[in-house]
Amino acid sequence: MYRVLYRKWRPTFFSDVIGQSHVTSTLKNEIRSGRISHAYLFTGSRGTGKTTCAKILARAVNCLDPQDGEPCGKCDNCVGIASGSIMDVVEMDAASNNSVNNIREVLDEVVFTPGEAKYRVYIIDEVHMLTTGAFNALLKTLEEPPAHIVFILATTEVHKIPATILSRCQRFDFNRITPEIIAERLEYISKEENVSITHDAAMLIAAVADGAMRDALSLLDRCIGLADNITAEIVREAAGLAGRDYLFTLADAVIDNDIPLAITTVNTLHTASKSMSRLCEELTEHFRTLMLIRTMKKKAEGLLLLSENELEKAYEQANRISLVQTVSCIDILTASLEKMFKGGNNKIEFETCMIKLCSPELSDDLSSVRARLDKLEQEIKLGYRRIDAPQNDNNTGNTEKSQQQSTSSKGTANDAGKKQSTVISGTAQAVQANKASAEERLAELARNAKPLANWEDVLDAMKARSTVLYHRMTGTNAYISGDYVLIEAKDDTPFEFLRSDPARNTIVKDTIKNVLGRTYAIGPYRRSARPVEEQKKNKLDEFIEKISNSNIKLTVED
């Protein structure tokens, strides 16, 4: 009978376990020294070797002839435990045996000494699934265990295990296996299985597996079912990564505010039996890709599961969308996915979501408002506003009429373009003028500003409201100028942090009001705005000037 690869190539010795040397080396040292704990806790993501190491440990502690901390694999105990004929090693799935009665059945056997092995070993997988009562029943035995008992608990969700259990176990954290290590192992196994695999294909399988060796071997099994010569294209077909052009189409619709394209694409996918919740997850992942490209540039390529052609398209889309809008899209998609899980018509929910993405003005949440402002700023910087789409449903006829007139008279269209360009140019100039006026106002305020003596009191009061905000504002100084409190910082980091969320501005203003007793507006303080004479003046100059203006006479005595 054919054995799947993840079972056939399951490690039988600690030396065969890859990517977890920090765990296996410690366990081997304990076996060598005879310092065997009564309870172990193996935690980590799926497919990283928790249950495998538990089985190896069960054989190692019972081996009649251990070899440098490893089970020999030849003695009666090793062979019997591996075949399942020795009943002193018990594997229990807590996902289906999680009640108090299930644990009590185990504890009733604990008092008996092992029949054939040295230790009676209980491997409890997915231990976080135990009920509160079951954990309480297990706790007493963990507190005062018999000398011949070893518990090995395995879980993917350690945060669900009570602290009283955690404190009585020796804990080992299994890391996600790196793609390079997984790819190297896949290439070795493929060679042993007489299958050729390219390095790119092995790396792609490793990336899809997300640190799980078992998942990687399962995907390799599927690839072998398709071809003996495994390439990256075969992996994409086996993993369902091929044919994702619809994600780029939907993202284009969002970037171009093209609602008809978005709804038509969604309807086509729905007709083809595409799950709307899965589509929402995939589109969220796609905008994550654009977000990573915007923030990490070339460094993001190692985190993305894209072909060269797809990567080129992703770079092109990332250049057409701002980081603020990308984050806003992820927020809206995540909220929509939560609604789908709560029930209702998923198709209608996703269509509504796409309309929100294509029309940010329909959403009143803070992230959407930021995205709209960011897009407007970008358009003003580039010197244009979109004029190729109708602004509302009532002007559809006017748009069609304009298109007909444009076709019949190119000169009229050119004149309209010139007028539009003139209007936009005037808008940009107005924005620059307002900006210059604001800078002049800040400069005037800075020249008349006086140091705020109790700014430290303001920061201390701020710490009670927001620790994060307090740390961001630490190291700043403040000045009072009229109705303003001007904040001085070494760089723009505190101001960018305040601008990213209006609620933070509110906290600063409220704290200043509580300490100073009145409401102040806040703004940045720029030392460059102070008079040149004042900038050049140092403390020695100030001292000399003070002495010169006083009646004090300085004399030098022997």
Output the average pLDDT for the chain. Answer: 81
Tell me the angle at which helices 245-255 and 259-271 cross, rounded to the nearest 10 degrees.
160
State the average pLDDT over residues 42-53.
94
State the average pLDDT over residues 271-287.
91
Say if residue 483's pLDDT is above 90. Answer: no
Which residue is listed with tokens 């009429």?
401
CA distance 392 to 18: 60
Q: Which of 503, 520, 519, 514 is CA-nearest to residue 466? A: 503
Least confident of 170-179, 267-276, 298-307: 298-307
Q: Residue 32: what pLDDT? A: 92
CATH of the domain at 510: 3.30.300.180
Question: Residue 393 falls within a domain, yes or no?
Answer: no
Q: Which of 91, 102, 9 is CA-nearest to residue 57? A: 91
Question: Residue 252 falls within a domain, yes or no?
Answer: yes
Q: Among the three residues 382, 410, 439, which one is the final residue of a domain in this structure?
A: 382
Say if residue 432's pLDDT is above 70. Answer: no
Question: Residue 391 falls within a domain, yes or no?
Answer: no
User: Do 322 and 288 share a structural domain?
Assistant: yes
Total tally of structural domains belonging to the chain: 4
User: Do 70 and 131 share a structural domain?
Assistant: yes
User: Do 136 and 10 share a structural domain?
Assistant: yes
User: Do 209 and 146 share a structural domain?
Assistant: no
36's torsion region: left (phi>0), alpha (psi -120 to 50) or beta?
Answer: beta
When mean pLDDT is compared over 87-91, 427-431, 460-464, the highest value belongs to: 87-91
Question: Residue 549 falls within a domain, yes or no?
Answer: no
Which are the contacts of 380, defined by CB distance < 8 A and separation ≥ 6?
427, 428, 431
Q: Which two tokens stand for residue 97?
A: 């045996």
Least confident of 149-153, 282-286, 390-394: 390-394
Q: What is the DSSP string of 335-402?
A: HHHHHHHT-S-HHHHHHHHHHHHH-GGG--SHHHHHHHHHHHHHHHHHT----SS-SSGGGHHHHHHH
Say if residue 550's pLDDT is above 70. Answer: no
Cα-based angle 313, 316, 322 (whole degrees, multiple of 5) = 130
CATH of the domain at 26: 3.40.50.300
Q: Among the three residues 239, 254, 286, which one is the final residue of a domain in this structure?
A: 239
Give the containing element (helix H, strand E) for 484.
strand 484-488
SS3 515: helix
Q: Residue 9: what pLDDT? A: 93
CATH of the domain at 311: 1.20.272.10
pLDDT digits 0-9 by tens, 75-121 = 999 999 998 888 899 999 998 888 898 898 888 888 888 888 899 99
Give the containing element (helix H, strand E) for 541.
helix 539-548
Q: Residue 154: what pLDDT? A: 95
Q: Residue 481: what pLDDT? A: 85
User: Do 13 and 70 share a structural domain?
Assistant: yes
pLDDT digits 0-9 by tens, 373-407 = 666 666 565 554 433 333 444 444 444 444 444 44
Question: Residue 51 falls within a domain, yes or no?
Answer: yes
Other beta carbons within 10 Å of 401: 11
Question: Residue 388 falls within a domain, yes or no?
Answer: no
Question: Residue 9 falls within a domain, yes or no?
Answer: yes
User: Do 496 and 523 share a structural domain?
Assistant: yes
State the average pLDDT over residues 305-325.
84
CA distances, 389 to each of 257, 318, 356, 406, 464 (Å): 9, 22, 17, 15, 49
Q: Residue 394: what pLDDT? A: 43
Q: Residue 434: what pLDDT? A: 53
More confident residue, 365 or 206: 206
**For a pLDDT cut of 90, what percent of the chain falls above it?**
41
Q: Residue 532: what pLDDT? A: 43
CA distances, 179 to each of 176, 213, 462 (Å): 9, 10, 45
Q: Which of 484, 469, 468 is CA-nearest to residue 526? A: 484
User: Do 378 and 513 share a structural domain?
Assistant: no
User: Do 275 and 167 share a structural domain?
Assistant: no
Q: Among the three residues 174, 189, 221, which one is the final residue of a domain in this structure?
A: 174
Q: Residue 116: what pLDDT? A: 87
Least confident of 106-120, 132-146, 169-183, 399-413: 399-413
CA distance 499 to 492: 10
When mean pLDDT is compared over 208-222, 232-246, 306-320, 350-364, the highest value belongs to: 208-222
Residue pair 314/293 in contact by the 8 Å Cβ criterion: yes
Question: Residue 395 falls within a domain, yes or no?
Answer: no
CATH of the domain at 205: 1.10.8.60
Give the range of the structural domain holding residue 200, as residue numbers without chain letter: 179-239
How does residue 10 score in pLDDT terms, banded at 50, 70 and 90? very high
What's this model's pTM, rounded to 2 decimal places? Answer: 0.60
User: Do 206 and 309 share a structural domain?
Assistant: no
More confident residue, 528 or 484: 484
User: Do 187 and 106 share a structural domain?
Assistant: no
Say if residue 214's pLDDT is above 80. Answer: yes
